[in-house]
Amino acid sequence: MRWLCTLVLAATVIAACSDDGGSTPNPGALEAEIADSVPGSTTTTTLRPPPPTDPPEREDPTIGSLVIPCRPADATSLPDRPGVTSEVVTIGTGSDRGGIGTPGAGNGIVEMIEVLADFCNSRGGLHGRDLRVIEYDAAAFEAADRVEEACAEVVALVGHAFLQEIETALSAAACGLPLYTGGTDLTPTSPFALHGHLAAAFTDPGSAAEIVLVGPDTPLSAADRAARRQAIELAGGVISVVGEVAYPIDSIPDWETIAGQVRALGGGQVHIDGGCEQSVLPFVDVAERADWRPVIIATATAYDEACLSTLQPDRLLIELPFLPFEDGALAPATAAHGELLDQIGAPRTGSGLLAASEFWRWASSAEACLSDVDSACFAQARAGQAAWTAGGLHGAVEPDGSSEGCAVILGVEEGRFVRRLPTEPGTYDCSPERSVVLPTDS
């Protein structure tokens, strides 16, 4: 499980990315102090996805650089198992969009998995069978019940993002249901903390050093926050976490109280987990009405057009593990997924891109593993998918969840997302030489 794995903390010195003619503010003294406080080279590396072998059309054999695993085939004899018939292979995906405190959470995931299933069927399906998707809405706190239902109906859960991840994992393990969680391997705890810290120096160097962590009141989220705190402490220097605040998932959060608690802790930077409409926008709205302007660092689930309506656009930064849609042809895998969503009028979201990576990871194993009788084949296939990029959708991720710590930091400007770090389209900010590895028992 993710909370038992070694986590890698990667941070990049800002000075190495501010060579574009002065368009990036100079964080000054804080920049030098941060650079001195984190051991290692100050060289910034960038990573470009491989160029597409063909234009991104449905008839092409690739999506990005990934060979599409969907193709016509004879209906191979498969063992009787939930989710497989002579004509259909059924997978599940999930969300918490029906929850009292999480309305709409996971919309982008469900839409992406459904459009990719249709795309796969247009290419011949799997083992000559159509791919069907069942959505499970856990409503934030019913994950165990939904997984129990899925065990009797589908061959795997793909791209889901239930907040109750521990309950999900335990229920799936009980019935041997393979899980391809919506992007948790792509958003490791540690890189977010320091990348977000360094990005904040572009907005307000005076606020960058003291951080408050905000996230849902689930056991796994609490473990994530503890790991971020530990990673920052191991990095040493001027970075410090001054506190953390949890918000409920089984009721409507009182954001005025939550924001008041965060403000009382004294941090000038707030790292907040959650989607735009569920957490980021309500928090920023309260801060604006209180005439309080902290730097807000959000995760990939906040990469959503809804966040363009933030009341403090100059204070919001979003960290992505993938190349954004705004990179256009310089991000061919991202662009290809965007075009598929456009065909059905679905919005382009960060949660959708995270889910897309897991869909292709599962589908790339399905040709061999659908003929197996349990989840062991999928586990072995996943273990063998070294340097997984989903065809150039994101930086390379190893089977244990470790990566080079590559990220893109976006800001909001004039009603659109813009790059803050690095500024050159098609590149990542990567710093493997700055890794701080947490103990495995963390």
pLDDT given at position 199: 57
Q: Give dist(CA 288, CA 259) in Å, integer.
A: 11
Structure-token pair, residue 367: 């040709």
Planar angle of CA 361, 301, 96, nearest 5 degrees: 85
**294 Cβ neighbours under 8 A, 6+ residues apart:** 207, 262, 263, 267, 268, 269, 270, 287, 315
User: Has this prediction a pTM greater than 0.75?
Assistant: yes
Q: Give dist(CA 303, CA 91) in Å, integer.
A: 26
Distance of CA 19 to the CA centre of its chain: 28
Question: Torsions phi, psi of 183, nearest 5?
Answer: 95, 5
pLDDT given at position 276: 93
> What is the 3-class SS of the chain, one letter each residue?
CHHHCCCEECCCCHHHHCCCCCCCCCCCHHHHHHHHHCCCCCCCECCCCCCCCCCCCCCCCEECCEECCCCCCCCCCCCCECCECCCEEEEEEEECCECCCCECCCHHHHHHHHHHHHHHHHCCCECCEEEEEEEEECCCCCHHHHHHHHHCCCCCEECCCCCCHHHHHHHHHHHCCCEECCCCCCCCHHHHHHHHHHHHCCCCHHHCCEEEEEEECCHHHHHHHHHHHHHHHHHCCCCEEEEEEEECCCCCCCHHHHHHHHHHHCCCEEEECCCHHHHHHHHHHHHHHCCCCCEEEECHHHCCHHHHHCCCHHHEEEEECECCHHHHHHCHHHHHHHHHHHHCCCCCCHHHHHHHHHHHHHHHHHHHHCCCCCCHHHHHHHHCCCCECCCCCECCECCCCCECCCEEEEEEECCEEEEEECCCCCCCEECHHHCEECCCCC
pLDDT given at position 332: 96
pLDDT given at position 307: 95
pLDDT given at position 41: 27
Nearest Cα residue to 428 out of 419, 440, 437:
419
Alpha-carbon Rg of the chain, whole angstroms? 21
Distances (CA, A) of 399 to 93, 260, 388: 21, 40, 8
Q: Going by DSSP bridges, is the β-strand pair 436-437/62-63 parallel, antiparallel, or unpaired?
A: unpaired
Strand partners, 94: 136
Instruction: Give, for all 442 residues of the chain, the pLDDT tens digit.
Output: 333 232 233 333 233 333 333 334 444 444 444 344 333 322 233 333 333 333 334 456 899 999 999 988 766 677 777 888 888 999 999 888 888 888 888 889 999 999 999 999 999 898 888 999 999 998 888 999 999 999 999 999 998 778 888 888 889 989 989 888 865 545 444 444 455 555 556 666 666 678 899 999 988 888 888 877 877 777 666 678 899 999 998 899 999 999 999 999 998 889 899 899 999 999 999 999 999 999 898 989 999 999 999 999 998 999 898 999 999 999 999 999 999 999 999 999 999 999 999 999 999 988 778 876 567 888 888 888 888 999 999 888 888 777 777 888 899 999 999 998 889 999 988 765 444 444 444 3
pLDDT given at position 37: 39
pLDDT given at position 346: 93
Structural domains of the chain ordered from first start: 2-46+188-320+401-437 (3.40.50.2300), 62-185+327-383 (3.40.50.2300)
